[in-house]
Amino acid sequence: MNVEVEIEPRHAGERWSQVLTANGPISIGRVGCDVPLPSELVSRRHAIVQILEDALRVEDTSSNGTLADGEILRRTSRQIAWGAPIVIGTFTLNFRPVDGGAVARSRSSETPSGARRQPEFELPSVVVANEVEPELRREIHKRLIEHLDLAMTDAAKLDDPSFRPRVLTALRRIVVSLESRLPTPCDVDGLVGELADEALGLGPLEHLLADPSVTEIMVIDANTIYIEKSGKMQRASARFTDDERVRSVIERIVTPLGRRIDESSPLVDARLPDGSRVNAIIKPLALRGSCITIRKFARTPLTLEKLISGDTLTTAMGRFLTRAVVAKKNIVISGGTGSGKTTLLNVLSTAIPNDERIVTIEDSAELKLAQPHVVSLETRPSNMEGKGEYTIRDLVKNALRMRPDRIVVGECRGGEALDMLQAMNTGHDGSLTTTHANSPVEALARLETLSLMAGVDLPSRAIREQIAASVHVIVQQSRLNDGTRKVTAITELCGLDPKGEFETRAIYEFRRSGTGAEGRVQGEFVATGHLPTFLDEFIVRGLIKPGELYL
């Protein structure tokens, strides 16, 4: 059914309406939502409205609360009637069913009597707010800290939804008192919102994190932020007040996770509450200032169907990999940084049967397995006394005592590769992992090198035999120069040849034929004609039905 949302600002401006197709929950918020509301009093994802048969269910997901039919909601939900007012920030929303019309999540060109269609809008320009001199921004921060005694405020209180309105009110008063020193024109609302985000949140990163088209955020220094969109790098207009604010954001990320960053430990890996991966490094290692790299976690997990529709691989390739996972083949996903290895690992893991016990091991937890029997383990750095560190290798060794059916290691980058190979070769078939390499052959060479880092005095031939007996399939994932990500090879490891070299056979390949318009990569996925040696296992397990294609 179609739903009309009438939106009325409380103080100024004419009301407008928006028509949506209610094919799922409707999100309301500041950025990247189905119903966007341009106000700093609105959280970036403020509320969710579920369409029921004869009513609405409103769920508050904000920092400031939602007023639904006269009742204040704070991280709770309630059912209300159609047409009952929903107050969010300075806006009142009314939902009404609409008969007919196929308008899908777009603005309506027709509005109720007396109303006028609101033109497309965006958030207040952060460029204007950023033109405020750093010295003045620092003074505003100093006055805010003195006014609210933020330095002595418990960190948990800063996350309290009722605290942000106090900060916004105080900031507005401070900014107004310094109005003569502001540039003209100045986006006061944008400036207040930015400074509030720096005081309570992640500063200018808040808007970038809320933008679903941004996949990676890279802070070079306080004045330089780059983002990745559609696989392409571009500079963002946002910036921090100074390096101290960047350090504060890093502290805000790592402290709840029990990690630390200081001159004695100047780099850290962490994650945001939504699962996004964060790496931070500060002076003296980062010469230009504190540096942050955020790999955003997709709100909607990718599926094999989405990868196929996105031309990452073909239906036949996806079918083969799914069968290989079910048949408990050991798979290594190889690729460069940002090529999509972890994403592919997540997608392939969905093929693991629900009745198996899975143990996942990662540096920073990113995997989101949907199976019911999953044990997730994460490494821990040493404390200030240099004790308490648990590495991936420690966790792999411990996982062997946890009766796993499968072990999934986020990435092999050290001596744990040897332990992983031994696990694969001693009754833990069907394990998956990733590693950094540019081709399947290089991936095998890297596994050999990593195994040597375990400190075990084994000859190279013995390690190669271990790899040949353990690994069945290498999947090469690549990010091409046009920003697209593709599975460029699926290769079987057939063992060692008489000279002791790895013997590999490509099953599928992406063969590039040229470059098209706007630098787009041209090419096609092809089956090489090689049938894997374990094809009979697919048939025995019933994975290939009579009349179905082998590959």
CATH 1.10.3720.10 for domain 304-540: no
Cα–Cα distance measured from residue 161 to residue 543, given in angstroms and rounded to the nearest whole number: 52
- Is residue 103 scored above 50 in pLDDT? no
Secondary structure element (H or E) that encloses residue 48, with its range:
strand 47-51
Residue 163 CA: distances (Å) to CA of 166, 167, 191, 255, 319: 5, 7, 18, 20, 51
Residue 206 CA: distances (Å) to CA of 39, 56, 121, 242: 14, 29, 19, 16
Q: What residues does 50 pair with on adjacent strands?
A: 57
pLDDT in tens, 156-199: 555 555 677 778 888 888 888 887 787 766 767 777 777 887 77
For residue 115, the model assigns a pLDDT of 38
Percentage of residues in the chain having pLDDT higher than 70: 89
The three-class DSSP label of residue 230 is coil
Percentage of residues in the chain having pLDDT higher than 90: 37
Secondary structure element (H or E) that encloses residue 216, with its range:
strand 214-221
For residue 109, the model assigns a pLDDT of 36
Domain residue limits, the chain: 2-98, 126-295, 304-540
Q: What residues does 474 pair with on adjacent strands?
A: 332, 491
Pairing mode, strands 374-378 and 358-362: parallel
For residue 131, the model assigns a pLDDT of 61
For residue 299, the model assigns a pLDDT of 67
Q: What residues does 68 pair with on adjacent strands?
A: 71, 86
Cα–Cα distance measured from residue 376 to residue 370, given in angstroms and rounded to the nearest whole number: 12
pLDDT in tens, 189-243: 777 777 887 777 788 888 788 777 888 999 999 999 999 987 788 998 888 888 9
- Is residue 123 scored above 50 in pLDDT? no
- The label of the residue with tokens 């401070």 reads 174
Question: Is the pTM here over 0.85, yes or no?
Answer: no
Q: For the purposes of burial, counting CB atoms within 10 Å of the CB of 487, is it exposed (0-12), middle (13-18) or buried (19 or more)?
A: buried
CATH architecture of the region 126-295? 2-Layer Sandwich (3.30)
108 close to 7: Cβ distance less than 8 angstroms:
no
- The label of the residue with tokens 């059914």 reads 1
Nearest Cα to 445, choosing from 478, 425, 467, 418? Answer: 467
The three-class DSSP label of residue 53 is coil
Cα–Cα distance measured from residue 134 to residue 130, given in angstroms and rounded to the nearest whole number: 9
pLDDT in tens, 434-478: 999 999 999 999 999 999 888 888 888 999 999 999 999 999 999
Q: What is the CATH number of domain 2-98?
A: 2.60.200.20
Q: Which amino acid is at 309?
A: S
